[in-house]
Structure 1
Amino acid sequence: MSQQLYLIALGSNQRHELAGHPRKIIEQAIEALEMPDVDVFAQSSIIESAAIGASRRRYANAVAVIASDLDPPALLHRLQSVETHFGRRRIGQRWRARTLDLDILLWSGGIWSGECPALAIPHAAMRERNFVLGPATEIAHDWVDPLTNLTIRQLFHRLNRPKPLDRLQSPH
């Protein structure tokens, strides 16, 4: 496989005894993504966001554009190894606090729905998450979602446009 680009989401809402607080974990995770067969081309700023689900801790979130010869399942395995290095455990309740969460959002190869059931590209929930689309607009605003044919910037603006009820309640 020739070199492919990937858009990766990073999130953390739990301290790590060695790495520190979530923002530090994101910084160190971006560094950890740099490997002989993975190059980090760009990274967004790190933002804070509210937790989804049962966890009450706020998240630190960012996205990165990486290049690699790895196919999506091999990259997913590599990302899960990085998560494990930072203390991630894949047991118990979904949406619980975690030291590091790495997700493949988009891939320059388009759509992936291969034999790996834990992997679907584009990421199913990315269009509904400001904490993903906001940082992604900084570094990949023109990347096109192959399912909607909309750019990251367009998806972000659609997600954040006022709802009809919001306009009625506006003081203008």
Structure 2
Amino acid sequence: MTHTTGGRPGRRLTSYELATWRGFIETAEQLRTVLGGRLREDSGLSEGDYGVLLALSEAEGRRMRSSALATHIGWERSRLSHHLGRMERRGLVARRECAEDSRGAEILATTEGMSAFRRATVPHLRAVRELFLDALTPAQLDAVAEIVAALRDRLPPGP
């Protein structure tokens, strides 16, 4: 069934539009919850741990300034600081004074952190395939990519 929104600002949502919106939000949240649970079961890493380690794995020298890391993963600096403390106690990351600026700290992935990240990646991507990619036809996946691009174009620039 095809429904158009008409693009009229201020117009009330139809029951179909509201149901579609709620279905999207609730399904995305349930998908994240299930993927996060599997990630924790399979690797002992939380979604936050994985996001931090992913960002660090892609950074030059596996290190980033904490402020840049917070921006990159879309977290408030205080949230990141608390999370990094927990990760540091588990040996996944280390904080070092920034060589260029003694007021800042660099966060670096430890050998143990990168090992945990590598061990987590295969089962995590397997779960992404099972729960997301394999549920969609190639045409549906193309539609999702198109939808994501359209939504992203409406949002303010992110990290």
Same fold (TM > 0.5)? no
| TM-score normalised to structure 1 length | 0.24
- Structure with more contact order per residue of length (Cα contacts < 8 Å, sep ≥ 6): 1
Q: Normalized per residue, which structure has more strand? A: 1
TM-score, reference length from structure 2: 0.26
